[in-house]
Amino acid sequence: QPTELNAKLNYLKHFEKKETLLPHTWMVVRIDGKAFHNFSEKHYFKKPNDLRSIELMNKAAFSVMKEFPDIIFSYGQSDEYSFVIHRYSKMCDRQGGRIISSIVSLFAGVYVYHWQSMFEDVKLHYCPAFDARVVLYPNNSCLRDYISWRQADCHINNMYNTCFWTLVQQGQCSRQNAEEILCGTFSKDKRSILINRFNQNYDDEDAIFRKGTVMYQKMVSEESGRSRGELPENNQAEEGCRGIVVGHFDVIKDEFWRERPWLLG
């Protein structure tokens, strides 16, 4: 009887609409923490940048890249991460919903799994949630622009937050006062405030905060050949296992892409 019922009810599967994403286009999944402004305050994040959360985000992204080798590149900052899936990928038969949910659920799971080892004395009061979306980019130029956009966003926010929290923490300004001081200022004004009032050079801030975090798949032959010291651009680059490189590169400039032609090739 259950077998008959199952056969009879099988028609229900035709209600599942399997929309597939356009072939041969880059697929970018961006996840973003839900209400992390509150989450960060409830969990005593250091302001402007709590390294523990950034490292958790990076651990989660690294696990996602290991699990899904079709993700050739990822970029993270603050409570967000973008994953670039190769344009010829057949991941999850290119079904958007399945791609998004596989990535975001693993990401959230790893973030929570490693919480205690990273935050030690801070108890996780409730589970963080992340939203996710997938966007298609039809050519390399749009994809590069997308990545530049996220890194520029990181730069703008980090510069603002660095000034804001320096005024509050070291300048004894109230939050409202700091906000008023920064209102309408440009990048060079913020640099001046840091130098003139706090003798602090913005460029001395850690690259992980200024640039965010980049992960990408090594070229196959690069995996065995290159040694640590020969990695290009900066000494913070680390070689991970399974051919994933982690670093805090400038991905707006052409140089990064020129030196790694296999990524968008």
Instruction: Provide the binding-site residues for ligand ATP, judged by CB under 6 A.
Output: 32-37, 40, 45, 47, 49-50, 53-54, 78-79
Considering the complex, what minimum distance in angstroms separates the CB of residue 161 from Mg ion? 12
Tokens linked to 70: 């079709």
Nearer to Mg ion, 82 or 89 (CB): 82
- CB closer to ligand ATP out of 44 and 262: 44
Q: Which does 47 bind (CB under 5 to 8 A by kind): ligand ATP, Mg ion, none?
A: ligand ATP
Q: How many CA atoms lie within 13 A of 60 on its CB side?
A: 34
Q: Which does 217 bind (CB under 5 to 8 A by kind): ligand ATP, Mg ion, none?
A: none
Q: 205 is in the binding site of which of Mg ion, ligand ATP, none (Cβ under 5 to 8 A by kind)? A: none
Min CB(173)–ligand ATP separation in Å: 18
Indicate which of Mg ion, ligand ATP, none lies near residue 50 (CB less than 5 to 8 Å, by partner kind).
ligand ATP
Q: Are 55 and 5 in contact (CB under 8 A)?
A: no
In whole angstroms, give the CA distance from residue 198 to residue 44. 25
Binding region for Mg ion (CB under 5 A): 32-33, 36, 78-80
247 strand-pairing partners: 214
State which residue, 47 or 226, has the beta carbon closest to ligand ATP: 47
Q: Which residue has the tokens 């690069």?
A: 222
Candidates 231, 257, 256, 235; CA nearest to 244 is: 231
Minimal distance in Å, beta carbon 77 to ligand ATP? 8
**What is the C-alpha to C-alpha distance for residues 249 and 201, in angstroms, rounded to an integer?**
19
Sign of the Cα pseudo-torsion (180, 158, 40, 119, in order): negative
